[in-house]
Copies of this chain bind each other. A is one copy, B any other.
Amino acid sequence: MNVETHGAYCVATYRCYDEKADFHKKAAGIAVGLTVGSWTDLPQARKAEMEKHLGRVVRVEVHEPAAGESASERYADIQIAYPDINFSRDIPALLVTVFGKLSMDGRIKLIDLSFSEAFLSAFPGPRYGIQGVRDLLGIHDRPLLMSIFKSVIGHDLPALREQFLQQALGGVDLIKDDEILFENPLTPIERRVEACMQAAAEAQKATGQKLLYAVNLTGPTFGLIEQARKAIDAGANALLFNVLAYGFDALAELSRHPDIRVPIMAHPAMAGAFYPSPYHGIAASVLLGKLMRLAGADLVLFPSPYGSVVMPREENMAIKEALLTTDASAYALSANGQAPLAQSFPVPSAGIHPGLVPLILKDFGDQVVVNAGGGVHGHPMGAAAGGRAFRQAIAGCLAGRPLREYAADGHAELQAAIDAWGIKE
């Protein structure tokens, strides 16, 4: 079936392992079972009516195990097109349709998704995206730099403010809350925002630089809009959100809400419950790539391939591609030209120190947020120096200079970072 000629199908691709299944039969079973329920038994007149609801097998690619490989490694990539009139235009409806019951049916992983043009048109996507975030910061000529609080639980406002100030003085563009900081008596959201935004203003006098503070949006689902309003009224200029703990639709509704006119940063908390198994779950490029962008995340954090919490490099590159691609056909098979969604900023995270900046820029290009925690706070000369070391590393890379040479050229903070953590190019 040629779905490219239709604009009315969302297409799911599965990798399905089975030692002896007839994968073509399995594919046909999915296409019927998850749409009209039964097909061959239907009278001819009924078939004519039901045809527009019937799922279609687009492609079945069987990979027989190579010589010496175990039979359990036999798999097929199965692509099924689901008529978009079968479900409402929200992500829960799509996911329940394409991977609700099916997720429980043996060794099967959802490895790609694309959307009908009509489904896609219901999603405005990132309100700010890369361009909008850059506009807010007034920075268009270099990768951005973000830092993370070192520790937050049990700290009071003055302590948090001081941590914030030191990070801001280092010249970072964004600071994010820790994702495990919830409403608490020591640092409730509106007072935390006030204290940190004051520190941001104080730092701006020294650095001349704007800064986005992504405060953690938490609490009861049906109170999220109100909680976001509270944060924004207190001065928050960005939000951090644990998308997978609330579902993609909560993000989609937050990002399109008229009162929430600040960038939203998606945290990958719980993503490891979905993507790492080759046999089950949802591929990282779908989970942290396409669906995050579709739901309107302006920035998306994901485990970098460099640190202790790792993700294989090819999965990182697939997420990057999903967040950045401007090829419309990546999101809607039948579309062509420019993708209708703004780009989301990729934020590879964990294990980042200044000596990794050349590699990050090589892997991700300029449209990336360099994000560090320990690499800022653990700097031998303190957190502000840590930020400066990263900014120097970024400047050195953009100037095309070898990092070690650039450090020796009077960039003491970068030099100290290299002495502490080395360089990986």
Contacts and interface: CB of A to CB of B under 8 A. Distances in A.
Interface stretch (A129-137, A276-284, A393-401): A276-284
A349 B23 CA distance: 24
B220 A182 contact: no
B97 A49 contact: no
Contacts of A184: 85-86, 88
B249 A220 contact: yes
A144 to B, nearest CB: 22
A269 interface: yes
Chain copies in the assembly? 2
Nearest to A284: B104
A89 to B, nearest CB: 9
Contacts of A183: 88
Given A92-B218, A225-B222, A242-B92, A180 B105 contact: no
9 contacts: A37-B153, A88-B218, A92-B221, A95-B245, A96-B270, A222-B224, A273-B281, A276-B279, A280-B281
Contact of A245 (B85, B92, B225): B92
A153 B85 CA distance: 9
Given A36-B151, A92-B246, 16 more contacts: A53-B153, A86-B184, A87-B180, A90-B219, A92-B245, A95-B269, A100-B180, A104-B311, A221-B221, A221-B246, A222-B224, A222-B250, A245-B247, A273-B280, A273-B282, A277-B277
Contact of A253 (B153, B222, B242): B222
Given A95-B270, A100-B269, A279-B276, A221 B242 contact: no
A270 B88 contact: no
A272 interface: yes
A128 interface: no
A253 B179 contact: no
Given A93-B182, A96-B180, A183-B88, A273 B37 contact: no
A37 to B, nearest CB: 3
A408 to B, nearest CB: 31
A272 B103 contact: yes
Interface in A186-214: none
A105 B308 CA distance: 8
A138 B270 CA distance: 42
A152 interface: yes
Contacts of A247: 221, 245-247, 250
Interface string A95-136: 111011111110110100000000000000000000000000
Contacts of A250: 221-222, 246-247
A44 to B, nearest CB: 15
